[in-house]
Structures are given as C-alpha cells and as structure tokens.
Chain A
Amino acid sequence: MPIPTTIWLHGANEHEPAKSIYFRDQFVRQCHGWDWRMPVEFYEYRSQFLQRVTMMVLILAYAAVLCSFASGMLALLINQRTSVHALLERVPIQRGGRDWLDDCLTESRYPLRLKQAVFIVLGLSGLLAVLAGIAVLNSQSAFTDQIGLGLPWLPWHVRFDSLSGFFFLIVGIAVVAVSIYGPGYVEAYQEEKHPFAVLGLFTGLFVAGMLLVLLADDAFFFMIAWELMSVASYFLVAFQHENPANRRAAFLYLLMAEVGALAIILGFGVLASFADGLTFDALRQANLSTTWASIAFVLALLGFGMKAGIVPIHVWLPEAHPVAPSHISALMSGVMLKVAVYGLIRFCFDLLTDVHWQWGVVLLVLGTISALGGILYAMMQPNLKRLLAYSSVENIGIIFMVLGLAMIFMANGFPQLAALGLLAALFHAFNHALFKNLLFLGAGILQHQIHSLDIDCMGGLIKRMPQTSFLFLIGCMSISSLPLFNGFVSEWLAFQTALQVDVLDNGVLRSLIPVSAAALALTAALAAACFVKVFGMIFLGLPRSRHSEKAQEVDDKGMLLALKLLAGLCFFFGIFPTLIIAALNNVAKQLIGQTLPNDTLQSWMWLAPVSAQKASYSPILVLVGVLIACAFTFWYLRRNPDTKTMRRAATWDCGFGGLNARMQYSCSAFTMPFRRIFAKVWLIDEQIDKDMQGALDMDVSSIRYRLQVEDHCWPRLYQPIAHGINSAARLVGRIQTGNIRVYLGYSFVTLIIMLWVVSL
C-alpha cells in the first residue's frame, strides 16, 4: 500500500487525526485519483511501522558493534591459514567461488586478503554506524532496549537517542575513512615484529568499545564499554613497543585513563547514592543538593577531561598519539576524544538535570586555557604527529569553551541560546573529527613515504606528492578556520554564541565571556600561523633532506581515497552547514528541549542561527563570489598570448649565489617571534655552542644550536605528585619489616580490632 510519508508525520501531530487524515485523503484522492482511505488501518500500519523502525535502527546499531567485534576476531585468523582452509573445504560453495577462495587461501595471498577482509568488515561497521546515526537523527526519538548480559540483577540497558546518534555518525565516518586507509598503511609493518593479529584485534575492540559507550544507558554498562575502549587503545598505543619511549607513553596513557575512569566511577557513584539503581533513568531522577551535584560535576569533569585532554591533564595526549600507528592516532584524536566529550555532555546536560552557571564558568576558563595552551604548545613541536596531538588539545578546549557558554545560558534561563552553544560545540566536535582525521592520515602518508615525522626534514613535497599536498592543504585550511571550510562555520557559531552575552545580568559573566571570545580569536589566529608553518615547512620550499628529495606520491589508491573522502566532507559541510545543523537541532531538542529559531532551517543557503537581523552567513554565496572574482581576474589578466606564459628564472639570491635548502626558514625559525613574545608559556632551553679557531680564536669554525621547548605541566604539577606518592610509599614501607613474626602480629591486632568493632 503506497502511503506518502508526509501523511504519517502529519497524523502524528494532530489532535483529531482521523479528520485531518480524511481531509488529506480527500485531497490526495482528488489530486492523484488514488484509492485508499481507512484511517484505522493506517494507524495500525503506522504503529507497526514505528516498531519496525525501532527494531531496524537498533539492529543497525548492534550490527555496527558486532561488525567491529567481528573484524577484530577475523584479524586473529592471520596465522591460522591451514585451519581456515580446512574449515572452508567443508563449506559447500559454487565452483567459481571455490576457485576464488582457493586463490585467496594460497600462502602468498592469504595475509593480504585477510587484512583486506578485516578492514572491509571494519568499514562495514563504520557504514552501519553512519546509517544508524542518520536513522536515529531523522526519527527524532529514542530507542531503548535491554541485553541480558552483565550482572544478574542489572541487565545492560541500551538507549539510542539523537545525541548518541550524532556521535555514531562521527565515529562511523572516521571508521569508514580509516578502514579505506588501513590496508595500504599496515602493509609496511613486518609480521614478525608487529603482528597484524594484535593490531586488528584491538582496533576492532577499540571501535566496538567506543560504539558501546555511546549506546550505554546504565552506569555499569557505560564503565565496561569505557574500559574496553581505554584498554584496547592502550594496546594500540603500545603496538610498536620495541622502543622504550613508546612503552613509557603507553603506560602513562593507561595510568591516566584509569585515574580518569576512577573519577568517572566516583561521579556515577555520587549520583547513584541519591538514586535507586544504576540505570541512567534512575540517575536522572536523583535529587541532589547543589554541593553533591557540584562534586559529581567536578569528578565527571576530571574523568572525561582527562580522556578529552584538557590542560593541565592533557599530558598523555602528546605522548601517546605520535607513537600509535597513524590510522589509530586518527581514531584516537578524531574520535575517542569526542567520545569523552559525549560522556561529559551526557553527564552534565542529561543526567545532572540542573546545571549551574558556575560550572559553565569552570568549563569556559578551562576551555580557554586549553585552547590557548594547546595551540601555543603545538606551534613549538617539530614532530608532526605531536603537533597534531597538541592541536587536538586546542580544539577540545574550544569545544569545552562553547559547552561552558551553553551551560551559562542554560542556567540563566536562556535555553534557546544554550541550544545555540550546544550546537556550536557539537558541530565543532564533528568538524574536528573530520579534519583531524584527515591531517593524521596525511601525516601517516608522509611517515610512510619519508620515514620521518620531523617537519624540519621535509620540504618541497608539493611537487613530489601533488595529491597528498592538496588534500593536506584542505585539512590545514579547515583547521585554521578559513571561510568556505567547515572549521570556520563552527567557530562562527561559537562567536555568535559568545556575542549573545548581552542578555545576561551578571557583570562578571558579561565581561568574562567577551574576553574569552577574544581568546578564541587569538587561538584561531595562532592556529592559522601554526598550520601555515606546517604546510609551508612540509610541502613548500626546497627539500630539507634526502628522503624528502626522493619522496614519491603514495601508490596505494585507498590511502588517498580516504583523504579525499574526508577532505570532500570538510569542504561540503563548509558550504552546506545547514544539513548538520538540522540534525543537531534534533539533538538540542532532545537534550535541552529547545531548538534554534526556525528561520535557520528555512533555507539551505543561509545560516542565521539567532535571526537574520542578528547575523547571517551564506557560504554558497561567498563561494560563488570567490569563483566569479577568481575566474574573471584569471581570464582577464591572461588574455594577452604574449604574456600568458610565465618565464621561469633563478630565485633571487642577493647576488651571492649558491642558494640552498639550509638557507630557508626552518620550523624553529618560523616560530621564533612567537617564542619571544609568549616566552613565559614554555620552558625554553636554548643553547648556542660555537667552536672558535684562528690566531686569536676569533673566527667561528662551526656552530651548534640546540632548542628544547617543554610543557610547564611536568615540573609544576606532575613531578610534585610523583614525588609525593614516592615519599608516601616510603612512609608506608616502614611498617614492612620483612619479618614474619611482625606480620603475624599485624594480623592478630587487626583481628582483635575487627572483633571489637563487630561486638560494638
């Protein structure tokens, strides 16, 4: 029975559905001559349909999780060729299929085919996650379910709503890109040193863990999924464990992840002690005093912030991200940090129903510090992946800032502005996932081709790797928030949120928010400078090392395709941001019960989040304008055939001759002005050693320059903590005499005390 979709939606909103359906029915029949009515059947059909949708959306989500598990399990088969062969012998398959299978199972082909299969299944998981996310965002409702796993009295509760759906979308897109990229990238690993089984298994578990976190609807399940995600990613960070530095980074990561997890557990514990049960529904009902709610908030902020990497608890991030394989760092930086953001949003906006503006201020200040600190530290890094990791700290800072704004507006009774802030934060999370993935995967290609991540060893790659360089440029432009790209839109929305400060009464907030907006502007400008440096040093100028002189474009199509996909999305959502904003409106509606005013969505061309009188931006018009201006000048200035071709000539060398690559500006030279202006931000150790020669020891024969730039956090925060723990351990150590009689005495005394306590 063909039923137009519009009628279902119409029927859902009406108080007198039969009547309205009847009128619609009349109208439709008059127009099209269709022969159907019977509203009763229609309603049955509709409820059946909705049930089916519920099933379908959840099945999609489950399938995504199962696929990621399956890809992990599949990876374990890498060394089991004979067993797989024996198993498949028994399965009846048609002749053509059998030949193909036999071909795949030959000793030389098997590893390659299996790796491809693992990544195809992983990609399928990503695709299903995207579909599930889109489906739930469109349906605008929440789907709940229970799985009979877990504790006997507490089955795993599952809830799949718009917020989860949106993060499913983020995870899905990233996983699809990574699985297109993966096969080409992992080829470089030698099986003996870096077994694929480990990589594939933990990648699958990692993705599954992230998806399960998004699905969890009780604290117990949430923590299990969270730990699955953390521990699986620990093994991925430790994948190249032959290097002691990598082992240290992985341990630091594990340590901080667990401390964070403890904080989250305590946060849930505070909530649970006021509620009956561990399900999120029960936690929502919990009636907390302001003090306890604030304690829960601080614990959640500590736990999720540690995972998200806000300053000063970001130190694991720049250590762990560079040492993981590039596609894993892309997932960790692009997606896992977002899962932490999801956790914070779920905890603060959903579970703790009343937010307080003081929390918003905390988030705003921490976010501002993270954003500025992150980008300033990023600027000084010579290692590309380390730089990108620090830039993630910056972007997470921006997200936290805008979340803080949303909280402030929410607590002051402006849910519409809170919706705007939440929307800007989520949109930035989405954008950051896209362009940071793009840049990390690009960094992976560079590492693959040049065998180094040191920016000072690169240069001139734009001619040798034209495609990679172009795609990387798009990533750099997006992250520098230039107009026409997606990064700009979310930053624009963030500014728009901050500029609505006029509605607030509190004088402190009214002056704090504009200052943080200016800090955001400084962050954006510094990010642009940082990524000019990155692109300029890596791709432009003359090659600075032999490797980059001989570099070639990567020949694996998949690796480039993944970059193209992400770059295309960066541009697409920069031009058509309203698509995402429409989806995000549903999230805001579900979370804080408010959406943006409707005129945002009336047209795909205009972005006017508050109202057209307040602010508007039309990326498509800007694009058309740029194209016209560019095309016209390009055509007009090159009309004359005599001067159309350019003449190539030697670069001007001031008449001295012998211009070489070492005379270019280097990474540390480019950032020297910043180092001087913001000197207090880093711990700078700069040494210049000169060797003298000649009769009076006055001529310089050679000169060495050493620069070390370090984070303030280590000596100021972590070393005292480590010191304190060590001395505490030494104190406790005094009672450990090593003498069995003393230990028996301890047991005896303990027993006496316990008995005494019991008998009281």
Chain B
Amino acid sequence: MNWLLAIVQTLLFVALAPLLSGWLKWCKCHLQNRKAPSLLQPYRDLMKLIRKQPVVAEHASWIFTRSPYIIFSAMVLAASVVPLIAVDLPTAASADVIVLVGFFAFARFFLALAGLDIGTAFGGMGSSREMTISSLAEPAMLMAVFTLTMTASTTNLSLAIAHVLNEGLVLRPSFVFAMFALILVAIAETGRVPVDNPTTHLELTMIHEAMILEYSGRHLALIEWASQLKLMLYGVLIANIFWPWGIAQNFSIHALGYGLLAISGKLAALAVFLSISETLVAKMRLFRVQEYLSFAYLLGLLGMLSHIILEASR
C-alpha cells in the first residue's frame, strides 16, 4: 500500500510538472502585459513533440540519442524521493538528500555529454557553462541542505521534514539563511533569469538551450519535461522543507487531499514570486554568476554557522 502510494505520488509529480511551468508562464505573461497561453500549453507542446519523428545530427552517437531517457529517468527517480503530498513514504528511504543531489549530477553529466557529442560550438559552449555553474551551485546547495539535515540530524528528506513539522513554527535564523541560499541555487540550477533565460536563443547568453539545440521530437520532449520536473523538484524542496505544514502525515484520503491542496497552493505562490522576480530583474553577465553563487554559498555558510553557534543543543 505504501509503495503503491509512493508510486502514485511520483506519477503525480511527473504529471504536474508541466502544469507548474504553464502556470509560471501564465503569471509572467500577465505581469508583462502579454496575452497568456493556456495553462495546458506545456502538455500540448510535449504531446506534439512526442508525436514527431526526431531528427538527429549526423555525427551524433548513442550518447546523444540515449541521454534524454537517462536524464528523464534520473529526474523521475529524484521525484520519487522528494515528499510531495505525504511524508514517511518508503521510497524516501532508498535515497537521501545527498543521493538526490547525485541524481541531479547524473542528469547534468549526460546532458553535458550530449551537448559535446554533436561537435558544434554551441553544444560545447552550453556544456562548459552548465558544468561551471553547477559546480559552483552544488556546494552552495549542499551547504543549505546540511543546515537542515544537521537540525533534524538525518539526511533522509522525509524524516527531516517530519522533524520540522514536529518542532512547530520556530523562527530559526539558520533556516532563513538556508532558504535564501536554496532559492538562489534553485534559480541558477533550473536555468531561470538572472542566470540563464529559458526563452532565449542568443548565443552570448544561452546555457541550457545551447546544449539541447540539436534535439527534436521525443528527445526534446523528454529533456523539456525533465527540466520542468527539475523546476518543480526545487520548488517542492523549498516549499516542503521550510513550510512543511499541510503535508499529509498519515495516509487517509482526507489528509492526502489536504496535502495535495497545500502543495499546490505553495507551489503556485512560489511561481508567482518567481515570475515577479523574473519580470523585475535583468539577466546578468555570465561572469557575474560566480558572485551570485558565492553569495548563495555564503548564505548557506551563515546558516550553518548560525545553526552551530546559536541553535545547537550542546
């Protein structure tokens, strides 16, 4: 039963990811005085891509054609680990938060290889920049996550969230720092403004799009879906770690329904904030990203230190 619920939750995660980016786009369009596409537009795009025959660059090897499946699977696995509507599901034990970061690294590794596989300047450029940014973002992310795991003294996400729930609403300075660090990292890792612009195809600035320039058809669909999943994963992480209230602690229909409502509300609110910030902030130069990410790292470090100095039980 628990396993079934875990699988259902994972499927729900995968199914809802495009909706979140649809909602994000909708918000952004309204903020920028544009006519918004339907909320279901990402689904239509994915369906369209899946139906099409993929066109593959002539020099591409199996890395290029198999990578989308690997990337998508890694993201699905990551989704199975992160508690969405309920804590204490059995999948959460199979991989903790460090493994979750490992899943992201796995997907990124293959995405970067796929960018190099076709032998164009664009692919290499995207891979190089992606690896640069992610290698700066990873320590910042782990720093933020470690603050949480040290507070809860577990790296199991589900248990850590349950711990925060049981503690009740306590204002922890370390959590405030860690949350901001994680938000900054999330923006960098999911390729949003100001680090990367998901809608641009301008060679000077693009990162994620440069790597996947040669993809089409179902391959592109999988990669797009995977990056939507990644966005939602970070959203859920931020929402459920720092405001876990509402998440189901038992498996009754009532609690689960309430959990679903809660997470939808939290994600919708986060998306509104993201769209406002994307509207207000301009994209920054590539070599300013290091300052941005070291700021995130610094926040994570401050969170950790304030946990150690101010909050630790000893």
Q: Which residues of A come within 8 Å of B, CB atoms?
A: 459-460, 462-463, 477, 480-484, 488, 492, 495-496, 499, 501-502, 505, 507, 510-511, 514-515, 517-519, 521-522, 524-526, 528-529, 532-533, 535-537, 540-542, 606, 612-618, 621-622, 625-626, 629-630, 633-634, 637-638, 640, 642-643, 645-653, 659, 661, 663-665, 669-674, 676-677
Contact B96 A616 (CB under 8 A): yes
Q: Is the interface of A mostly helix, strand, loop or mixed?
A: helix
Q: Chain B's nearest CB lies how many Å from the CB of A408?
A: 15
Q: How far is the CA of A462 from the CA of B149 in the complex (A)?
A: 41
Contact B127 A525 (CB under 8 A): no
Which residues of chain B from 111 to 158 have any CB-CB distance to chain A below 8 Å in the complex? 112-113, 116-121, 123-125, 127-129, 131-132, 134-139, 141-143, 146, 149-150, 153-156
Q: How far is the CA of A507 from the CA of B305 in the complex (A)?
A: 10
Residue of B95, B108, B117, B156 near A528 (CB, 8 A) is: B108
Q: Which residues of B come within 8 Å of A, CB atoms?
A: 50-59, 61-63, 65, 69-70, 72-74, 76-77, 80, 91, 93-96, 98-99, 101-103, 105-106, 108-109, 112-113, 116-121, 123-125, 127-129, 131-132, 134-139, 141-143, 146, 149-150, 153-156, 159, 213-214, 217-218, 221-222, 286-287, 290, 297, 300-301, 304-305, 308-309, 312-314
Contact A651 B214 (CB under 8 A): yes
Contact B117 A672 (CB under 8 A): no
Q: How far is the CA of A328 from the CA of B138 in the complex (A)?
A: 35
Q: How far is the CA of A463 from the CA of B61 in the complex (A)?
A: 7
Q: How far is the CA of A728 from the CA of B297 in the complex (A)?
A: 48
Q: How far is the CA of A672 from the CA of B127 in the complex (A)?
A: 12
The residues of B that contact A462 with a CB separation of less than 8 Å are 61-63, 117
The residues of A that contact B96 with a CB separation of less than 8 Å are 615-617
Nearest first, the 4 A-B pairs at minimum CB distance are A665-B124, A536-B116, A525-B135, A541-B119
Contact B139 A518 (CB under 8 A): yes
Q: Can you spell out 28 A-B residue pairs with CB atoms less than 8 angstroms apart?
A: A462-B63, A462-B117, A483-B103, A483-B106, A492-B102, A511-B305, A525-B105, A525-B137, A528-B105, A532-B112, A536-B117, A540-B61, A540-B119, A541-B124, A614-B153, A614-B154, A614-B156, A616-B156, A622-B77, A622-B99, A625-B91, A626-B77, A629-B73, A643-B51, A646-B55, A647-B55, A651-B58, A651-B214
Q: How far is the CA of A659 from the CA of B53 in the complex (A)?
A: 24
Q: Chain B's nearest CB lies how many Å from the CB of A629?
A: 4
Q: How far is the CA of A621 from the CA of B91 in the complex (A)?
A: 9
Contact A643 B154 (CB under 8 A): no
A518 and B301 contact, Cβ closer than 8 Å, known pairs A540-B117, A661-B119, A664-B120 = yes
A460 and B308 contact, Cβ closer than 8 Å, known pairs A614-B155, A646-B65, A670-B124 = no
Q: How far is the CA of A652 from the CA of B309 in the complex (A)?
A: 56
Contact B109 A481 (CB under 8 A): no
Contact B57 A649 (CB under 8 A): yes
Q: How far is the CA of A460 from the CA of B77 in the complex (A)?
A: 31
Contact B135 A618 (CB under 8 A): no
The residues of A that contact B69 with a CB separation of less than 8 Å are 630, 633-634
Residue of B50, B58, B93, B218 near A616 (CB, 8 A) is: B93
Q: Chain A's nearest CB lies how many Å from the CB of B305?
A: 6
The residues of B that contact A646 with a CB separation of less than 8 Å are 53-56, 65, 217
Q: How far is the CA of A522 from the CA of B108 in the complex (A)?
A: 15
Contact A626 B99 (CB under 8 A): no
Q: How far is the CA of A540 from the CA of B217 in the complex (A)?
A: 22
The residues of B that contact A645 with a CB separation of less than 8 Å are 53
Q: Chain B's nearest CB lies how many Å from the CB of A109?
A: 40
A618 and B53 contact, Cβ closer than 8 Å, known pairs A522-B138, A541-B118, A541-B119 = no
Contact B53 A629 (CB under 8 A): no
Q: Chain B's nearest CB lies how many Å from the CB of A667?
A: 10
The residues of A that contact B74 with a CB separation of less than 8 Å are 626
Q: Chain A's nearest CB lies how many Å from the CB of B76?
A: 5
Q: How far is the CA of A30 from the CA of B119 in the complex (A)?
A: 73
Contact B53 A663 (CB under 8 A): no
Contact B77 A499 (CB under 8 A): no
Residue of A480, A541, A634 near B59 (CB, 8 A) is: A541
Count of inter-chain pairs, beta carbons less than 8 A: 264
Residue of A502, A522, A629 near B150 (CB, 8 A) is: A502
Contact A536 B156 (CB under 8 A): no
The residues of A that contact B56 with a CB separation of less than 8 Å are 646-649
Contact A616 B94 (CB under 8 A): yes
Contact A501 B138 (CB under 8 A): no
Q: Chain B's nearest CB lies how many Å from the CB of A642?
A: 7
A483: nearest chain-B partner, CB-CB? B102
Q: How far is the CA of A496 from the CA of B142 in the complex (A)?
A: 12
Contact B120 A663 (CB under 8 A): yes
The residues of A that contact B93 with a CB separation of less than 8 Å are 606, 612, 616, 618
Contact A613 B53 (CB under 8 A): no
Q: Chain B's nearest CB lies how many Å from the CB of A105?
A: 47
Q: Chain A's nearest CB lies how many Å from the CB of B87?
A: 13
Contact B109 A613 (CB under 8 A): no
Q: How far is the CA of A170 from the CA of B3 in the complex (A)?
A: 39
The residues of B that contact A510 with a CB separation of less than 8 Å are 308, 312
Q: How far is the CA of A696 from the CA of B37 in the complex (A)?
A: 54
A515 and B301 contact, Cβ closer than 8 Å, known pairs A524-B138, A614-B156, A625-B77 = yes
Q: How far is the CA of A671 from the CA of B213 in the complex (A)?
A: 21
A514: nearest chain-B partner, CB-CB? B304
- Given contacts A528-B108, A528-B109, A616-B94, 18 further A-B pairs with CB under 8 A are A462-B61, A462-B63, A492-B102, A502-B312, A510-B312, A519-B139, A524-B105, A529-B112, A536-B112, A540-B113, A615-B154, A615-B155, A616-B96, A617-B94, A646-B53, A652-B213, A670-B127, A677-B287
Q: How far is the CA of A511 from the CA of B300 in the complex (A)?
A: 12
A647: nearest chain-B partner, CB-CB? B55
Q: Chain A's nearest CB lies how many Å from the CB of B136?
A: 7
Contact A529 B94 (CB under 8 A): no
Contact A522 B139 (CB under 8 A): yes
A515: nearest chain-B partner, CB-CB? B301
Q: How far is the CA of A226 from the CA of B155 in the complex (A)?
A: 42
The residues of A that contact B134 with a CB separation of less than 8 Å are 525, 529
A529 and B99 contact, Cβ closer than 8 Å, known pairs A626-B73, A643-B52, A665-B127 = no
A492: nearest chain-B partner, CB-CB? B98
Q: Which of B50, B57, B93, B119 is most buried by chain A, counting CB atoms within 10 A of its CB? A: B119
B146: nearest chain-A partner, CB-CB? A514
Q: Chain A's nearest CB lies how many Å from the CB of B158?
A: 11
The residues of B that contact A653 with a CB separation of less than 8 Å are 120
Q: How far is the CA of A606 from the CA of B93 in the complex (A)?
A: 9
Q: How far is the CA of A674 from the CA of B131 in the complex (A)?
A: 9
Q: How far is the CA of A672 from the CA of B129 in the complex (A)?
A: 9
A503: nearest chain-B partner, CB-CB? B314
Q: Chain A's nearest CB lies how many Å from the CB of B216?
A: 9
The residues of B that contact A537 with a CB separation of less than 8 Å are 116
B75: nearest chain-A partner, CB-CB? A629
Residue of B53, B63, B150 near A643 (CB, 8 A) is: B53
The residues of A that contact B154 with a CB separation of less than 8 Å are 613-615
A517 and B120 contact, Cβ closer than 8 Å, known pairs A496-B155, A532-B127, A615-B154 = no
A519: nearest chain-B partner, CB-CB? B139
Q: How far is the CA of A630 from the CA of B217 in the complex (A)?
A: 17
The residues of B that contact A528 with a CB separation of less than 8 Å are 105, 108-109, 131, 135
A535 and B121 contact, Cβ closer than 8 Å, known pairs A483-B106, A528-B108, A618-B95 = no
The residues of A that contact B156 with a CB separation of less than 8 Å are 613-616
Q: Chain B's nearest CB lies how many Å from the CB of A380?
A: 14
The residues of A that contact B142 with a CB separation of less than 8 Å are 495, 517-518, 521
The residues of A that contact B143 with a CB separation of less than 8 Å are 514, 518, 521
Q: How far is the CA of A507 from the CA of B307 in the complex (A)?
A: 12
Q: How far is the CA of A676 from the CA of B149 in the complex (A)?
A: 33
The residues of A that contact B308 with a CB separation of less than 8 Å are 507, 510-511, 514
Q: How far is the CA of A625 from the CA of B106 in the complex (A)?
A: 14
Q: How far is the CA of A643 from the CA of B109 in the complex (A)?
A: 27
Contact B120 A659 (CB under 8 A): yes
Q: How far is the CA of A613 from the CA of B58 in the complex (A)?
A: 50
A375: nearest chain-B partner, CB-CB? B135
